[in-house]
Amino acid sequence: MLRDITIGQYYPAKSVIHRLDPRVKLFATLIFIVSMFLFKTFVGYIVAGIALITVIKMSKVPFKFIVKGLKTIWMLLCFTLIFNVILTDGTILFEWKFIKISIEGIRNAIFMGFRLFFLIIGSSLMTLTTTPNQLTDGMETGLRGLKKIKIPVHEMAMMMSIALRFIPILMEETDKIMKAQSARGADFEEGKLMERIRALVPIFVPLFISAFRRANDLAMAMEARCYRGDNNRTRMNPLKYKKEDGLAYLSLVLYVAILIVADRTLGPIAESPITKLSTSLSAMVHIFNCL
């Protein structure tokens, strides 16, 4: 089951997107997320969707692989849809006990669903095309300015890359410990809730101990190699902006501009038939209710 999670996974391929400077990708992802809240009409969704599809095509990551990662947030998506449908006030289409479905609710749900979908695909596209090391490098270099106000950027980036590095190790360790305890007759699948929770103690205690031991060993190994933070530290491959990165920044600005302009100008025009439809629909519902 754990293997199915593709969020945060890296997909090795040779593409323009993979080659981009991680700072560009981080910044672009941030802007993309913010841009999700900059538009109100469905024209905005179309613009964002086109932009996303273009980037996916350029990244050479199979769409299927990206969508596989959505499995884990399926529940979240469903909840958002259901709550939006139920809890939005407006012209009521259907009513049963406390459940009220309104036109606005459906509209909100669809929009919210797409927004979440875009958000997740956008951000997983970043992790799919950037190795964890590049990512932390990008973060460290990109946020270097914050060091002036005494924020330990380097240490935070180092902690993050170590944490990422430890995930597969600890997963393997968990598997081993679970097997070893099952060999001693432990049962993780049966029993009441409390029994099951108690059954986790024999896994977590050795897991924590081993995590601490590994952390200790790693710290020792780092000290043995004279690690002392980023004092006078140089890099083997310092991050340098290339021509592609400039182009990427430019397209990002263009994307935001197009998004806002299209949403403000085309949006109301394109939406007017829908608004008309929904007003006439609500009128019909009203008449129907009166009858």
Partner 1 sequence: MLYLDNVNYIYQMGTAMEMHALNNVSLEIPDGQFIGIIGHTGSGKSTLIQHFNGLVKPTSGTIYYNGRDIWDEDFSKKELRTKVGLVFQYPEYQLFETTVVKDVEFGPKNMKLDKLECQLRTFGALKTVGIGEELYDASPFELSGGQKRRVAIAGVLAMQPDVLVLDEPTAGLDPRGRDEILEAIFRIKQERNITVILVSHSMEDVARFVDRLIVMDHGSVRFDGTPKEVFAHYKELEEIGLAAPEVTYLTAELIEKGLPLPNVATTVEEAKEMIMRFYKH
Give the footprint of partner 1 on this chain (CB under 8 A). 176-177, 179-187, 201-202, 205-206, 209-210
Cβ(245)–Cβ(20) below 8 Å: yes
**Closest CB to partner 1 among 209 and 222?**
209
Half-sphere exposure (Cβ direction) of 217: Cα atoms closer than 13 Å: 7
Residue 184 CB, shortest distance to partner 1, in Å, is: 4
For 26-32, which contacts have Cβ atoms below 8 Å and span 24 or more sequence positions? 26/126, 26/135, 26/138, 26/139, 26/142, 27/142, 27/249, 27/252, 28/126, 28/248, 28/252, 29/122, 29/123, 29/125, 29/126, 31/252, 31/256, 32/118, 32/122, 32/123
For partner 1, the closer of residues 182 and 272 by Cβ is: 182
Q: Would you say 182 or 280 has its CB closer to partner 1?
A: 182
Nearer to partner 1 among residue 149 and residue 183 (C-beta): 183
CA 68, 259, 47, 247 dihedral sign is negative
CB 230 within 8 A of CB 144: no
Q: Which is nearer to partner 1, 139 or 177 (CB)?
A: 177
Q: What is the spatial distance between Cα 219 and Cα 12, in angstroms, rounded to a whole number? A: 30
What is the nearest approach in angstroms of partner 1 to the Cβ of residue 186? 6
CA–centroid distance for 111 within its chain: 18
State the nearest-atom distance from the C-beta of 220 to partner 1, in Å.
Answer: 17
User: Which residue's CB is nearer to partner 1, number 99 or number 201?
Assistant: 201
C-beta of 192 vs 228, nearer to partner 1: 192
The nearest distance, CB 201 to partner 1, in angstroms, is 7
Shortest Å, Cβ 204 to partner 1: 8
CB of 177 to partner 1, least distance (A): 6
CB of 202 to partner 1, least distance (A): 5
Long-range CB pairs of 265-271 (<8 Å, 24+ gap) are 266/41, 266/43, 267/39, 267/40, 267/41, 267/42, 267/43, 267/44, 268/41, 270/41, 270/42, 270/43, 271/41, 271/42, 271/43
